[in-house]
């Protein structure tokens, strides 16, 4: 999955690249990642934008699913997400741990815990990631 030739768009030109997502090596059914807090991911009040938090959650869950289904000729893409914001993050890093809860034939379900650098839970998200045949991959616009 880390081979750039596997992707139609180079990772540095994707939202993950724009946000500065740092992926850790997956450990079984757990995927970890983080984003450094900079002005580009803050909203006007100086705290991390909720969209950046959800983008990180979806990226980790999609990445974990993609790794799990690629040998079967499948791809993964976000289908549904919901989250509860409990505490803002204003500096340091946005840290996330994604844990798979169910591996279905057509969808995987994940829970993602997002914390600040002090380890305080800031956001909890639940996601469904669709599993599709690689031939169903949408083509990027030219």
| pLDDT tens for the chain, residues 1 to 142 | 444 446 678 888 899 999 999 999 999 999 999 999 999 999 999 999 999 999 999 999 999 999 999 999 999 999 999 999 999 999 999 999 999 999 999 999 999 999 999 999 999 999 999 999 998 766 666 4
N residues, the chain: 142
pLDDT at 114: 98
pLDDT at 115: 98
Spatial CA neighbour of 31 closest among 59, 4, 12: 59
- CA torsion 45-117-102-5 (nearest 10°) is 80
pLDDT at 1: 44
Position 89 in a domain? yes
Q: Which of 12, 25, 58, 80 is catalytic?
A: 58
Q: Give the H/E segment covering residue 32.
A: strand 30-36
Range of the domain at 63: 13-136
Position 3 in a domain? no
Distance CA 122, CA 120 (A): 6
Instruction: Please give the structure tokens belonging to residue 108.
Output: 């995987």
The yes-or-no answer on residue 58 being catalytic is: yes
pLDDT at 89: 98
Contact status, residue 114 vs residue 131, Cβ threshold 8 Å: no
Position 120 in a domain? yes
Position 142 in a domain? no
pLDDT at 139: 67
DSSP state letters, 70-132: GGGTEEEEEEEEEEEE-S---SSEEEEEEEEEEE-SSEEEEEEEEE-TT--EEEEEEEEEEEE
Position 111 in a domain? yes
Q: What is the CATH number of the domain that holds 46?
A: 3.10.129.10
Number of domains in the chain: 1
- CA torsion 65-108-119-54 (nearest 10°) is 80
């Amino acid at each position: 999955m880390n081979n750039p030739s596997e992707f139609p768009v180079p990772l540095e030109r994707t939202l993950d690249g724009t946000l500065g997502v740092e992926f850790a090596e997956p450990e079984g059914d757990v995927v970890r990642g983080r984003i450094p807090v900079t002005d580009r991911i803050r909203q006007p009040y100086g705290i991390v934008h909720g969209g950046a938090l959800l983008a990180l959650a979806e990226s980790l869950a999609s990445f974990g699913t993609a790794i799990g289904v690629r040998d079967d000729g499948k791809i993964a893409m976000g289908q549904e997400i919901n989250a509860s914001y409990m505490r803002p993050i204003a500096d340091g890093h946005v840290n996330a741990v994604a844990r798979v809860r169910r591996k279905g034939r057509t969808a995987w379900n994940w829970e993602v815990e997002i914390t600040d650098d002090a380890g305080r839970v800031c956001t909890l998200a639940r996601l469904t990631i669709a599993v599709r045949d690689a031939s169903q991959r949408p083509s990027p616009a030219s």
